[in-house]
Copies of this chain bind each other. A is one copy, B any other.
């Protein structure tokens, strides 16, 4: 049976919506119970659909986890410091840019999810490669940000700064989970000082 383009578009949209519904439900379950305890049954119940429906959109729980991880990390990376132009700006301007998305970087729900994924990387090869991939992209972005500030004839110095920047970004996440009631203004100031040190 051939469908007309409008019907096809409607169907695709419906499929997409269903996938999103499963992912949102899975995220709820994972936050509540962790990756291992949350079953496809529970995800289906949370999404208000049958288990069969969930399997129409995803192969298994791993497939759901991987899709969510990919998206979370893409989100995270899009909020880490980046410059619109690959050019040398005033140090303060770079620091300000790095602080633009500060509130997003210290979101506790987000950060706890990343902890879950990182912990899981020791137990699942697939998650391990997602974590490795996000690490690669994060370091790449950090390198693009820092490159204009360090002499190309000393690549090791740049790499060390890249490591420092990524360490600080990930440290922010840990602080958010370790001390969610902590003084956010102070944490922001700490981040600012560290960013400045990295650029010097």
Contact = CB atoms under 8 A, between A and B. Distances in A.
A81 to B, nearest CB: 15
Interface in A40-63: none
Contacts of A146: none
A13 interface: no
Give chain A's interface secondary structure class.
helix
A52 to B, nearest CB: 25
A16 to B, nearest CB: 29
B190 A167 contact: yes
Interface residues of A, number: 54
Contacts of A112: 118-119, 121-122
Interface in A152-179: 156, 159-161, 163-164, 166-175, 177-179
Interface of A: 31-37, 108-109, 112-113, 115-116, 118-123, 131-132, 134-135, 138-139, 156, 159-161, 163-164, 166-175, 177-179, 182-183, 186-187, 189-191, 193-194, 197
| Across the A-B interface, the 7 shortest Cβ-Cβ residue pairs | A171-B171, A197-B197, A170-B174, A36-B37, A115-B119, A167-B171, A163-B190
